[in-house]
Chains A and B, each alone.
Chain A
Protein backbone atom coordinates (compact mmCIF):
# COMPACT_ATOMS: atom_id res chain seq x y z
CA UNK A 1 0.00 0.00 0.00
CA UNK A 2 2.78 2.34 1.01
CA UNK A 3 4.62 1.43 -2.18
CA UNK A 4 1.56 2.22 -4.32
CA UNK A 5 1.12 5.56 -2.59
CA UNK A 6 4.76 6.47 -3.18
CA UNK A 7 4.42 5.53 -6.85
CA UNK A 8 1.23 7.56 -7.28
CA UNK A 9 2.76 10.60 -5.59
CA UNK A 10 5.89 10.26 -7.76
CA UNK A 11 3.86 10.08 -10.96
CA UNK A 12 1.79 13.06 -9.89
CA UNK A 13 4.92 14.99 -9.00
CA UNK A 14 6.45 14.28 -12.38
CA UNK A 15 3.25 15.38 -14.10
CA UNK A 16 3.08 18.60 -12.08
CA UNK A 17 6.76 19.32 -12.73
CA UNK A 18 6.38 18.73 -16.45
CA UNK A 19 3.39 21.06 -16.60
CA UNK A 20 5.21 23.62 -14.48
CA UNK A 21 8.11 23.81 -16.91
CA UNK A 22 5.98 23.71 -20.04
CA UNK A 23 5.40 27.11 -21.52
CA UNK A 24 3.02 27.78 -24.34
CA UNK A 25 5.04 29.15 -27.24
CA UNK A 26 3.94 32.71 -27.64
CA UNK A 27 4.95 34.61 -30.73
CA UNK A 28 7.79 36.99 -29.98
CA UNK A 29 6.62 40.60 -30.18
CA UNK A 30 7.49 42.12 -33.53
CA UNK A 31 7.65 45.88 -33.18
CA UNK A 32 7.00 47.89 -36.32
CA UNK A 33 8.31 51.46 -36.62
CA UNK A 34 5.43 53.88 -36.29
CA UNK A 35 5.93 55.49 -39.67
CA UNK A 36 5.78 52.04 -41.34
CA UNK A 37 2.76 50.98 -39.34
CA UNK A 38 0.93 54.12 -40.40
CA UNK A 39 1.80 53.76 -44.07
CA UNK A 40 -1.38 53.80 -46.13
CA UNK A 41 -2.07 50.97 -48.56
CA UNK A 42 -2.01 52.57 -52.02
CA UNK A 43 -3.38 49.48 -53.77
CA UNK A 44 -7.13 49.11 -53.73
CA UNK A 45 -8.28 45.69 -52.62
CA UNK A 46 -10.17 44.37 -55.61
CA UNK A 47 -10.37 41.05 -57.45
CA UNK A 48 -7.31 41.82 -59.54
CA UNK A 49 -5.16 42.72 -56.56
CA UNK A 50 -6.31 39.72 -54.53
CA UNK A 51 -5.68 37.39 -57.46
CA UNK A 52 -2.15 38.75 -57.89
CA UNK A 53 -1.61 38.42 -54.14
CA UNK A 54 -2.89 34.85 -54.14
CA UNK A 55 -0.42 33.87 -56.88
CA UNK A 56 2.43 35.31 -54.80
CA UNK A 57 1.08 33.66 -51.68
CA UNK A 58 1.11 30.23 -53.30
CA UNK A 59 4.63 30.73 -54.61
CA UNK A 60 6.31 32.33 -51.61
CA UNK A 61 4.21 31.89 -48.47
CA UNK A 62 2.00 28.78 -48.55
CA UNK A 63 4.83 26.32 -47.92
CA UNK A 64 5.21 27.70 -44.36
CA UNK A 65 1.96 29.52 -43.60
CA UNK A 66 -0.27 26.93 -45.26
CA UNK A 67 -2.73 27.28 -48.12
CA UNK A 68 -5.31 28.88 -45.84
CA UNK A 69 -2.87 30.86 -43.70
CA UNK A 70 -3.26 28.69 -40.61
CA UNK A 71 0.50 28.39 -40.14
CA UNK A 72 0.37 24.72 -41.09
CA UNK A 73 2.38 24.63 -44.33
CA UNK A 74 4.45 21.61 -45.33
CA UNK A 75 7.67 23.29 -44.18
CA UNK A 76 6.25 24.60 -40.90
CA UNK A 77 7.37 21.62 -38.83
CA UNK A 78 11.02 22.12 -39.83
CA UNK A 79 11.16 25.72 -38.67
CA UNK A 80 12.53 26.97 -35.36
CA UNK A 81 9.65 29.39 -35.03
CA UNK A 82 5.96 28.77 -35.51
CA UNK A 83 4.58 30.46 -38.63
CA UNK A 84 1.95 33.06 -37.91
CA UNK A 85 -1.67 31.96 -38.08
CA UNK A 86 -3.05 34.68 -40.30
CA UNK A 87 -6.70 33.89 -39.77
CA UNK A 88 -6.80 35.11 -36.17
CA UNK A 89 -7.89 38.52 -34.93
CA UNK A 90 -4.48 39.33 -33.44
CA UNK A 91 -3.03 39.15 -36.94
CA UNK A 92 -5.91 40.72 -38.81
CA UNK A 93 -6.04 43.69 -36.40
CA UNK A 94 -2.62 44.84 -37.58
CA UNK A 95 -2.46 47.73 -40.00
CA UNK A 96 -1.72 47.18 -43.69
CA UNK A 97 1.49 49.14 -43.18
CA UNK A 98 2.61 46.74 -40.43
CA UNK A 99 2.02 43.72 -42.64
CA UNK A 100 3.85 45.39 -45.51
CA UNK A 101 6.80 46.06 -43.22
CA UNK A 102 6.92 42.50 -41.91
CA UNK A 103 6.72 40.93 -45.36
CA UNK A 104 9.41 43.29 -46.68
CA UNK A 105 11.88 42.99 -43.82
CA UNK A 106 11.35 39.47 -42.49
CA UNK A 107 12.65 38.13 -39.20
CA UNK A 108 14.15 34.84 -37.97
CA UNK A 109 12.74 32.05 -40.19
CA UNK A 110 10.62 34.51 -42.14
CA UNK A 111 12.79 35.75 -45.02
CA UNK A 112 12.84 39.29 -46.31
CA UNK A 113 10.79 39.55 -49.47
CA UNK A 114 11.74 43.01 -50.66
CA UNK A 115 14.11 41.53 -53.25
CA UNK A 116 12.16 38.37 -53.98
CA UNK A 117 9.10 40.53 -54.65
CA UNK A 118 10.77 43.65 -55.98
CA UNK A 119 7.65 45.58 -56.94
CA UNK A 120 6.09 47.32 -53.91
CA UNK A 121 2.67 46.99 -55.53
CA UNK A 122 3.00 43.22 -55.37
CA UNK A 123 3.67 43.29 -51.64
CA UNK A 124 0.54 45.40 -51.19
CA UNK A 125 -1.33 42.83 -53.30
CA UNK A 126 -0.08 40.19 -50.88
CA UNK A 127 -1.27 42.29 -47.93
CA UNK A 128 -4.68 42.56 -49.60
CA UNK A 129 -4.76 38.79 -50.07
CA UNK A 130 -3.92 38.11 -46.41
CA UNK A 131 -7.08 40.02 -45.49
CA UNK A 132 -9.12 37.34 -47.26
CA UNK A 133 -7.73 34.71 -44.87
CA UNK A 134 -9.68 36.16 -41.97
CA UNK A 135 -12.01 33.61 -40.37
Chain B
Protein backbone atom coordinates (compact mmCIF):
# COMPACT_ATOMS: atom_id res chain seq x y z
CA UNK B 1 0.00 0.00 0.00
CA UNK B 2 2.80 2.31 0.97
CA UNK B 3 4.56 1.62 -2.31
CA UNK B 4 1.42 2.40 -4.33
CA UNK B 5 0.93 5.69 -2.44
CA UNK B 6 4.56 6.62 -2.89
CA UNK B 7 4.31 5.91 -6.65
CA UNK B 8 1.18 8.05 -6.94
CA UNK B 9 2.77 10.95 -5.08
CA UNK B 10 5.84 10.58 -7.22
CA UNK B 11 3.79 10.65 -10.43
CA UNK B 12 1.90 13.76 -9.30
CA UNK B 13 5.12 15.55 -8.42
CA UNK B 14 6.60 14.61 -11.76
CA UNK B 15 3.58 15.89 -13.60
CA UNK B 16 3.71 19.16 -11.66
CA UNK B 17 7.35 19.56 -12.47
CA UNK B 18 6.58 18.88 -16.09
CA UNK B 19 3.85 21.55 -16.07
CA UNK B 20 6.15 24.08 -14.45
CA UNK B 21 8.83 23.24 -16.94
CA UNK B 22 6.40 23.91 -19.75
CA UNK B 23 5.36 27.21 -18.16
CA UNK B 24 8.89 28.46 -18.10
CA UNK B 25 9.61 27.64 -21.70
CA UNK B 26 6.42 28.84 -23.37
CA UNK B 27 4.50 31.62 -21.64
CA UNK B 28 0.92 31.55 -22.74
CA UNK B 29 -0.98 34.81 -22.28
CA UNK B 30 -4.34 34.28 -20.70
CA UNK B 31 -6.83 36.40 -22.59
CA UNK B 32 -10.24 37.18 -21.20
CA UNK B 33 -12.98 38.07 -23.68
CA UNK B 34 -13.48 41.83 -23.90
CA UNK B 35 -17.05 42.74 -23.01
CA UNK B 36 -18.31 45.49 -25.31
CA UNK B 37 -19.60 48.46 -23.34
CA UNK B 38 -22.22 50.99 -24.43
CA UNK B 39 -20.90 54.10 -26.14
CA UNK B 40 -20.45 56.95 -23.68
CA UNK B 41 -21.52 60.57 -23.81
CA UNK B 42 -23.57 60.55 -27.00
CA UNK B 43 -24.76 63.86 -25.60
CA UNK B 44 -23.52 65.86 -22.66
CA UNK B 45 -26.92 66.94 -21.38
CA UNK B 46 -30.42 65.49 -21.18
CA UNK B 47 -31.44 68.51 -23.29
CA UNK B 48 -30.56 69.47 -26.82
CA UNK B 49 -32.13 72.93 -27.01
CA UNK B 50 -35.89 72.17 -27.06
CA UNK B 51 -35.73 68.39 -27.18
CA UNK B 52 -34.66 65.66 -24.85
CA UNK B 53 -31.56 63.70 -25.80
CA UNK B 54 -31.14 59.96 -25.61
CA UNK B 55 -29.05 60.40 -22.45
CA UNK B 56 -30.27 59.01 -19.14
CA UNK B 57 -27.97 59.82 -16.20
CA UNK B 58 -26.85 57.04 -13.87
CA UNK B 59 -28.74 55.90 -10.79
CA UNK B 60 -28.69 58.40 -7.95
CA UNK B 61 -28.28 61.47 -10.15
CA UNK B 62 -30.26 64.54 -9.15
CA UNK B 63 -30.65 67.37 -11.62
CA UNK B 64 -31.97 70.92 -11.51
CA UNK B 65 -32.92 72.73 -14.71
CA UNK B 66 -33.38 76.41 -15.39
CA UNK B 67 -34.69 77.19 -18.87
CA UNK B 68 -35.39 80.57 -20.35
CA UNK B 69 -36.87 81.77 -23.62
CA UNK B 70 -36.86 85.50 -24.31
CA UNK B 71 -39.04 87.46 -26.74
CA UNK B 72 -38.57 87.37 -30.51
CA UNK B 73 -35.61 89.26 -31.90
CA UNK B 74 -37.79 90.87 -34.60
CA UNK B 75 -38.21 94.18 -32.70
CA UNK B 76 -34.49 94.79 -32.64
CA UNK B 77 -33.08 97.43 -30.34
CA UNK B 78 -36.49 98.54 -28.98
CA UNK B 79 -36.57 95.53 -26.68
CA UNK B 80 -32.92 94.64 -27.15
CA UNK B 81 -33.60 91.77 -29.51
CA UNK B 82 -36.16 90.26 -27.21
CA UNK B 83 -34.01 90.15 -24.09
CA UNK B 84 -36.17 92.84 -22.41
CA UNK B 85 -39.43 91.49 -23.79
CA UNK B 86 -41.80 89.24 -21.90
CA UNK B 87 -40.06 85.90 -21.45
CA UNK B 88 -40.93 82.36 -20.56
CA UNK B 89 -39.13 80.21 -18.03
CA UNK B 90 -39.21 76.76 -16.56
CA UNK B 91 -37.80 75.31 -13.38
CA UNK B 92 -37.37 71.57 -13.26
CA UNK B 93 -35.92 68.78 -11.16
CA UNK B 94 -35.15 65.19 -12.11
CA UNK B 95 -33.88 62.10 -10.36
CA UNK B 96 -32.69 58.65 -11.44
CA UNK B 97 -34.04 56.14 -8.86
CA UNK B 98 -32.65 53.16 -10.78
CA UNK B 99 -30.30 52.80 -13.71
CA UNK B 100 -31.80 53.72 -17.11
CA UNK B 101 -34.82 55.50 -15.61
CA UNK B 102 -35.13 59.24 -15.08
CA UNK B 103 -38.13 60.90 -13.48
CA UNK B 104 -38.75 64.63 -13.62
CA UNK B 105 -41.07 67.38 -12.51
CA UNK B 106 -41.22 71.02 -13.54
CA UNK B 107 -43.27 74.17 -13.82
CA UNK B 108 -43.47 76.74 -16.62
CA UNK B 109 -44.30 80.38 -16.29
CA UNK B 110 -46.59 80.18 -19.33
CA UNK B 111 -50.00 78.78 -18.30
CA UNK B 112 -48.45 77.85 -14.94
CA UNK B 113 -48.01 74.49 -16.53
CA UNK B 114 -46.86 71.65 -14.29
CA UNK B 115 -45.18 68.72 -15.95
CA UNK B 116 -44.14 65.25 -14.90
CA UNK B 117 -41.89 63.14 -17.07
CA UNK B 118 -40.35 59.70 -17.34
CA UNK B 119 -37.45 58.69 -19.50
CA UNK B 120 -36.17 55.17 -20.00
CA UNK B 121 -33.09 54.00 -21.90
CA UNK B 122 -34.27 50.96 -23.84
CA UNK B 123 -31.19 50.19 -25.94
CA UNK B 124 -27.70 51.63 -25.80
CA UNK B 125 -25.37 51.92 -28.77
CA UNK B 126 -22.62 49.33 -28.40
CA UNK B 127 -19.67 49.08 -30.74
CA UNK B 128 -19.97 46.11 -33.06
CA UNK B 129 -23.30 45.06 -31.61
CA UNK B 130 -25.98 47.74 -31.45
CA UNK B 131 -25.80 50.65 -33.93
CA UNK B 132 -28.06 53.10 -32.09
CA UNK B 133 -29.33 54.08 -28.67
CA UNK B 134 -33.07 54.22 -28.16
CA UNK B 135 -34.76 56.01 -25.29
CA UNK B 136 -38.42 56.54 -24.55
CA UNK B 137 -39.54 59.91 -23.21
CA UNK B 138 -43.03 60.59 -21.89
CA UNK B 139 -44.38 63.80 -20.42
CA UNK B 140 -47.76 64.71 -18.99
CA UNK B 141 -48.62 68.30 -18.14
CA UNK B 142 -51.36 70.18 -16.35
CA UNK B 143 -52.39 73.79 -17.01
CA UNK B 144 -52.92 75.10 -13.49
CA UNK B 145 -54.22 78.59 -14.31
CA UNK B 146 -56.94 79.86 -12.02
CA UNK B 147 -60.31 79.53 -13.79
CA UNK B 148 -63.11 79.89 -11.21
CA UNK B 149 -65.82 80.61 -13.82
CA UNK B 150 -64.79 77.71 -16.08
CA UNK B 151 -64.34 80.24 -18.86
CA UNK B 152 -61.26 78.44 -20.16
CA UNK B 153 -61.74 74.87 -19.01
CA UNK B 154 -65.12 73.17 -18.83
CA UNK B 155 -63.66 70.03 -17.35
CA UNK B 156 -60.61 69.56 -15.26
CA UNK B 157 -59.30 67.04 -17.81
CA UNK B 158 -59.24 69.84 -20.44
CA UNK B 159 -56.13 71.13 -18.73
CA UNK B 160 -54.07 68.07 -19.59
CA UNK B 161 -51.52 67.56 -22.38
CA UNK B 162 -49.40 64.51 -23.00
CA UNK B 163 -46.31 63.84 -25.05
CA UNK B 164 -44.71 60.54 -26.07
CA UNK B 165 -41.46 60.32 -27.92
CA UNK B 166 -39.04 57.67 -29.09
CA UNK B 167 -35.52 59.02 -29.29
CA UNK B 168 -33.07 57.24 -31.58
CA UNK B 169 -29.47 58.45 -31.55
CA UNK B 170 -26.07 57.47 -32.80
CA UNK B 171 -22.64 58.76 -31.93
CA UNK B 172 -20.41 58.92 -34.99
CA UNK B 173 -16.87 59.05 -33.66
CA UNK B 174 -15.85 61.36 -30.86
CA UNK B 175 -17.32 64.57 -32.24
CA UNK B 176 -20.60 64.01 -34.01
CA UNK B 177 -23.85 62.74 -32.53
CA UNK B 178 -27.15 62.70 -34.40
CA UNK B 179 -30.62 62.01 -33.21
CA UNK B 180 -34.06 61.47 -34.71
CA UNK B 181 -37.12 61.52 -32.50
CA UNK B 182 -40.69 60.89 -33.67
CA UNK B 183 -43.29 62.10 -31.20
CA UNK B 184 -47.01 62.10 -30.55
CA UNK B 185 -48.52 65.05 -28.69
CA UNK B 186 -52.06 65.00 -27.37
CA UNK B 187 -54.31 67.82 -26.22
CA UNK B 188 -57.40 66.85 -24.27
CA UNK B 189 -59.37 69.87 -25.39
CA UNK B 190 -59.56 71.67 -28.74
CA UNK B 191 -61.52 74.73 -29.75
CA UNK B 192 -64.52 74.06 -31.97
CA UNK B 193 -67.97 75.24 -32.99
CA UNK B 194 -71.18 73.74 -34.31
CA UNK B 195 -71.38 73.56 -38.09
CA UNK B 196 -74.72 71.85 -37.84
CA UNK B 197 -76.90 71.44 -34.79
CA UNK B 198 -80.47 70.61 -35.76
CA UNK B 199 -82.98 67.79 -35.71
CA UNK B 200 -80.88 65.83 -38.24
CA UNK B 201 -77.91 65.75 -35.88
CA UNK B 202 -74.88 67.76 -34.88
CA UNK B 203 -71.56 68.35 -36.58
CA UNK B 204 -68.77 70.08 -34.75
CA UNK B 205 -65.90 71.76 -36.56
CA UNK B 206 -62.70 71.27 -34.61
CA UNK B 207 -59.96 73.81 -35.20
CA UNK B 208 -57.32 71.19 -34.51
CA UNK B 209 -57.04 67.47 -34.03
CA UNK B 210 -56.40 66.16 -30.56
CA UNK B 211 -53.31 64.21 -31.65
CA UNK B 212 -50.32 65.60 -33.43
CA UNK B 213 -47.35 63.74 -34.88
CA UNK B 214 -44.00 65.45 -35.27
CA UNK B 215 -40.40 64.56 -36.01
CA UNK B 216 -37.36 66.07 -34.35
CA UNK B 217 -33.89 65.98 -35.88
CA UNK B 218 -31.03 67.02 -33.67
CA UNK B 219 -27.28 67.03 -33.83
CA UNK B 220 -24.25 67.93 -31.77
CA UNK B 221 -20.76 68.56 -33.04
CA UNK B 222 -17.99 68.91 -30.48
CA UNK B 223 -15.59 71.74 -31.19
CA UNK B 224 -13.58 71.19 -28.02
CA UNK B 225 -13.49 68.89 -25.01
CA UNK B 226 -16.20 70.91 -23.27
CA UNK B 227 -17.83 72.91 -26.05
CA UNK B 228 -20.13 71.90 -28.88
CA UNK B 229 -22.38 73.27 -31.59
CA UNK B 230 -26.03 72.22 -31.39
CA UNK B 231 -28.64 72.04 -34.12
CA UNK B 232 -32.27 71.11 -33.82
CA UNK B 233 -35.16 70.95 -36.26
CA UNK B 234 -38.75 69.97 -35.48
CA UNK B 235 -41.11 69.15 -38.33
CA UNK B 236 -44.87 68.98 -37.71
CA UNK B 237 -46.45 66.05 -39.57
CA UNK B 238 -50.16 66.09 -38.72
CA UNK B 239 -52.26 68.49 -40.80
CA UNK B 240 -54.93 70.32 -38.82
CA UNK B 241 -58.01 72.14 -40.14
CA UNK B 242 -56.65 75.45 -38.85
CA UNK B 243 -53.87 76.73 -36.62
CA UNK B 244 -51.20 74.45 -38.03
CA UNK B 245 -48.04 74.84 -35.97
CA UNK B 246 -44.81 76.03 -37.55
CA UNK B 247 -41.64 73.99 -37.71
CA UNK B 248 -38.87 74.88 -35.30
CA UNK B 249 -35.28 75.58 -36.28
CA UNK B 250 -32.79 76.12 -33.48
CA UNK B 251 -29.02 76.39 -33.27
CA UNK B 252 -26.60 77.25 -30.54
CA UNK B 253 -23.63 76.39 -28.35
CA UNK B 254 -23.11 74.08 -25.42
CA UNK B 255 -20.54 74.54 -22.67
CA UNK B 256 -20.00 71.84 -20.09
CA UNK B 257 -18.28 71.61 -16.74
CA UNK B 258 -18.13 68.73 -14.29
CA UNK B 259 -21.57 69.46 -12.88
CA UNK B 260 -23.15 72.00 -15.24
CA UNK B 261 -24.19 72.20 -18.83
CA UNK B 262 -25.00 75.56 -20.40
CA UNK B 263 -26.77 75.81 -23.73
CA UNK B 264 -27.20 79.19 -25.38
CA UNK B 265 -29.16 79.29 -28.62
CA UNK B 266 -31.69 80.84 -30.96
CA UNK B 267 -34.83 79.03 -32.07
CA UNK B 268 -38.51 79.40 -32.88
CA UNK B 269 -40.00 77.54 -29.93
CA UNK B 270 -40.94 79.95 -27.18
CA UNK B 271 -42.84 77.52 -24.99
CA UNK B 272 -41.15 75.14 -22.62
CA UNK B 273 -43.37 72.13 -22.84
CA UNK B 274 -42.78 69.57 -25.60
CA UNK B 275 -46.48 68.96 -26.35
CA UNK B 276 -47.39 72.66 -26.39
CA UNK B 277 -44.39 73.49 -28.55
CA UNK B 278 -45.30 70.82 -31.07
CA UNK B 279 -48.98 71.83 -31.11
CA UNK B 280 -48.88 75.62 -30.88
CA UNK B 281 -45.62 76.98 -32.25
CA UNK B 282 -46.57 80.32 -33.82
CA UNK B 283 -43.06 81.43 -34.74
CA UNK B 284 -41.95 80.59 -38.24
CA UNK B 285 -38.31 79.79 -38.99
CA UNK B 286 -38.28 81.00 -42.59
CA UNK B 287 -40.81 83.80 -43.19
CA UNK B 288 -43.81 85.30 -41.46
CA UNK B 289 -46.72 87.62 -42.05
CA UNK B 290 -46.60 91.06 -40.50
CA UNK B 291 -49.50 93.47 -41.12
CA UNK B 292 -50.40 91.67 -44.32
CA UNK B 293 -46.90 91.60 -45.78
CA UNK B 294 -44.70 88.58 -46.01
CA UNK B 295 -41.44 89.13 -44.16
CA UNK B 296 -38.49 86.95 -45.04
CA UNK B 297 -36.45 85.58 -42.19
CA UNK B 298 -37.76 83.83 -39.15
CA UNK B 299 -39.15 84.78 -35.80
CA UNK B 300 -36.42 83.61 -33.50
CA UNK B 301 -36.06 83.87 -29.76
CA UNK B 302 -32.85 83.74 -27.75
CA UNK B 303 -32.90 81.11 -25.04
CA UNK B 304 -30.78 79.13 -22.64
CA UNK B 305 -30.86 75.88 -20.70
CA UNK B 306 -28.80 75.46 -17.56
CA UNK B 307 -28.58 72.06 -15.92
CA UNK B 308 -26.88 71.20 -12.68
CA UNK B 309 -26.17 67.57 -11.89
CA UNK B 310 -25.44 66.09 -8.49
CA UNK B 311 -24.20 62.54 -8.37
Contact = CB atoms under 8 A, between A and B. Distances in A.
B225 A59 contact: yes
Interface in B179-230: 224-226
- Max chain A C-beta neighbours (<10 A), residue from B37, B60, B174, B225: B225
Contact of A59 (B37, B60, B257): B257
Contacts of B60: 115
A106 to B, nearest CB: 12
A121 B40 CA distance: 12
Interface of B: 37, 40, 58, 60-61, 174, 224-226, 256-259, 311
Contacts of A58: 224-226
B127 to A, nearest CB: 12
Given A59-B256, A63-B258, A122-B40, A115 B225 contact: no
27 contacts: A51-B174, A54-B225, A55-B174, A55-B225, A58-B224, A58-B225, A58-B226, A59-B225, A59-B226, A59-B256, A59-B257, A60-B258, A63-B257, A63-B258, A111-B258, A115-B58, A115-B60, A115-B61, A115-B311, A116-B258, A116-B259, A116-B311, A118-B58, A119-B37, A119-B40, A121-B37, A122-B40
Given A63-B257, A116-B259, 17 more contacts: A51-B174, A55-B174, A58-B225, A59-B226, A59-B256, A59-B257, A59-B258, A60-B258, A63-B258, A111-B258, A115-B58, A115-B61, A115-B311, A116-B258, A116-B311, A118-B58, A121-B37
A61 B226 CA distance: 12
A54 B37 CA distance: 20
Interface residues of A, dominant DSSP: helix
A54 B224 CA distance: 11
3 tightest Cβ-Cβ pairs between the two chains A and B: A58-B225, A115-B311, A60-B258
Contacts of A111: 258
A51 B226 CA distance: 14
B145 to A, nearest CB: 39
A60 B256 CA distance: 9
Nearest to B41: A55
Interface string A36-54: 0000000000000001001
A58 B60 CA distance: 24
Interface string A106-125: 00000100011011011000
